[in-house]
Structure 1
Amino acid sequence: MTAKPNVVVVIPARWGSVRFPGKPLAEICEKPMIVWVIEQARQAKQASDVIVATDDQRIFDAVEGVGGKVVMTSPEHVSGSDRIAEVASDLNCDIVVNVQGDEPLMPPVNIDQVVQALVDHPDVPVSTLMVPITSRVELADPNVVKVVVDKRGRALYFSRSPIPHDRDAQSFSAQPTAGGFPGHAGVFKHLGLYAYRRSFLLEFTRMSPTPLELKEKLEQLRILENGFSIQVVQSEHDSIGVDSKEDLVKIERILTSR
């Protein structure tokens, strides 16, 4: 890909979260969370456009109300990837970036990183990010997805279990106790930000779920199990997702301290 690619950020935002219904419209410093996400994404230098993909009129109206672009999608989608693929099917672009709708502090540079990874590796259809794991608590947490990569930075595997297992190193104990790792620990957390070549996104979402994907409940394993590569770039910037109302309080503290 020689010319600058046409990049569209698509943010999936559904109303019906089991643990936190209506999460995209949760207020953070008197502003709906989805608006924070849009504003962060718009700051990415590589992004040509930002679109919200939703299944709910309330979210649709909130995005339109701040001048954002929004598309109403089917309520039948089982994943955010399926939702953004519906939007992508009508787009004329090269790359689609999936930014989670519950990450109001997503650093814009992270979006630029995943796009640049596809520019730098024209043979790879998908890119994503990782950051070092620095505590045993994160390593032991199944909600923190781990990733291992090859020498070229391409994903070998993603897992909710601690990987890689170092048989001889005490620091890799999966005991959920406080404490950090030495700098050479070499364990990485996956950040759920993806850049897809548009054509591959449409192909990927037509593939049937695969055994490892179903076992781990990790959709990206479908890509690996079908023999495709995922370029993983190490980022210097972690991101904080919102899974509960307690997380909203943490994020408000961060924003008010800036």
Structure 2
Amino acid sequence: MPAPTKLLAVIPARYASQRFPGKPLALVGGIPMVVRVHRATAQSGVFGKTVVATDDQRIAEVVTAAGGEVEITRADHATGTDRVAEVAARYPDYDVVANVQGDQPFVHRGLLEALVAPYLRGERPEMTTIGCPLPADGADDPNVVTVITGVDGRALYFSRSAIPYPRNPGPAPAYHHLGLYAFRSDFLAQYAQLTPTPLEASEGLEQLRVLEHGYTIGVSLVDASVPEVNTPEELEAANRLAADWDK
């Protein structure tokens, strides 16, 4: 009988965001956002361990004070995934590593279970992510990333534009992409060494690097998205939502 899959969740958090400096420590419903993400992930029961990865002592102190685990990383990482890869290398006993974005204060068990479900079924994609139904006004919004999938449920492409082009009427496997990722631990180490790619640079979507290098991304589908916080305006909306979410 094979050994159970060991799952590690890493929450990358940096203070120096261009659009929203100090975002991980912004209060959502009176709780620092990174603490909300850590609590939801750790309490989901999906992962054997949950840690926050940061290079900032202010973030580390807040997470530690709230009872969370922290790993201090280098400050020169270009992406959150690179930060996750540094931490994952310190935990070689884990088979699968999830990158749970620190700006998703309403992440919940259902999303996290869907993210890692392919691995728990015994499948071995290099990487997995999440899709859900596209919002009615999402096609023209470059902040709404679309993923299209093949008949095997694996990603064919991600774009900030409307894809596929609706030349003919009818349904198409196009979904709103949610920024949660999980990796086979051996592939995550490889990912950190992959060179950036043209489509990745054009779209500003780092997951395209995986596809351009010929690797696979499994897409699990869920019924609905959860709000992210990328700007101070979105923080205001998150605080309004938190009043009901925390009841």
Q: Does 1:204 align with 2:204?
A: no
Q: Write the distance in 2 (CA, Å) between the matches of 1:17 and 1:67.
A: 25
Cross-structure match for 1:103: 104
Cross-structure match for 1:178: none
SS in 2 for 1:140: coil
8 Å CA contact 2:133–2:224 kept in 1: the answer is no
SS in 1 for 2:182: strand
Offset of 1:158 from its aligned partner? 0.7
Cross-structure match for 1:238: 225
Offset of 1:150 from its aligned partner? 0.6
Cross-structure match for 1:164: 164
Cross-structure match for 1:3: 3
Q: Write the distance in 2 (CA, Å) between the matches of 1:143 and 1:74.
A: 28
8 Å CA contact 2:149–2:173 kept in 1: the answer is no
Regions of 4+ moved over 4 Å: none
Offset of 1:121 from its aligned partner? 5.2
Q: Write the distance in 2 (CA, Å) between the matches of 1:70 and 1:27.
A: 19
Offset of 1:124 from its aligned partner? 1.1
Q: Does 1:34 align with 2:34?
A: yes
Offset of 1:33 from its aligned partner? 0.7
What runs of 5+ residues in structure 1 fail to find an aligned partner? 170-181
Cross-structure match for 2:200: 213
Amino acid at match of 2:73: T
Cross-structure match for 2:56: 56
SS in 2 for 1:96: strand
SS in 2 for 1:38: helix
What are the Cα deviations for residues 61-83 of structure 1, in whole angstroms up to 9, with x where unaligned? Answer: 10111111001111100000000
SS in 1 for 2:202: helix
8 Å CA contact 2:85–2:192 kept in 1: the answer is yes
SS in 2 for 1:17: coil
What runs of 5+ residues in structure 2 fail to find an aligned partner? none
8 Å CA contact 1:159–1:216 kept in 2: the answer is yes
Cross-structure match for 1:176: none
Cross-structure match for 1:179: none
SS in 2 for 1:60: helix
Amino acid at match of 1:113: A
Offset of 1:187 from its aligned partner? 3.1
Q: Write the distance in 2 (CA, Å) between the matches of 1:68 and 1:107.
A: 17
8 Å CA contact 1:155–1:230 kept in 2: the answer is yes
Aligned ranges for residues 134-145 of structure 1 at < 5 Å? 134-135=135-136, 137-145=137-145
8 Å CA contact 2:13–2:53 kept in 1: the answer is yes
What are the Cα deviations for residues 212-233 of structure 1, in whole angstroms up to 9, with x where unaligned? Answer: 1111111111111111111001
Amino acid at match of 1:145: V
Q: Write the distance in 1 (CA, Å) between the matches of 2:232 and 2:46.
A: 32
Amino acid at match of 2:42: R
What are the Cα deviations for residues 145-185 of structure 1, in whole angstroms up to 9, with x where unaligned? Answer: 1111011100111111101111245xxxxxxxxxxxx9x46
Cross-structure match for 1:174: none
Cross-structure match for 2:124: 123
Offset of 1:134 from its aligned partner? 2.8
Q: Write the distance in 1 (CA, Å) between the matches of 2:198 and 2:126.
A: 21
Cross-structure match for 1:188: 175
Amino acid at match of 2:219: V
Amino acid at match of 2:235: L
Tell which deviates more after alignment, 191-200 or 1-10: 1-10
Offset of 1:189 from its aligned partner? 0.8
SS in 1 for 2:117: helix
Q: TM-score under structure 1 normalisation? A: 0.90
Q: Write the distance in 2 (CA, Å) between the matches of 1:121 and 1:155.
A: 19
The count of corresponding residues between Structure 1 and Structure 2 is 244
Q: Write the distance in 2 (CA, Å) between the matches of 1:192 and 1:120.
A: 22
Amino acid at match of 2:179: G
8 Å CA contact 1:17–1:23 kept in 2: the answer is yes
Tell which deviates more after alignment, 1-10 or 229-238: 1-10
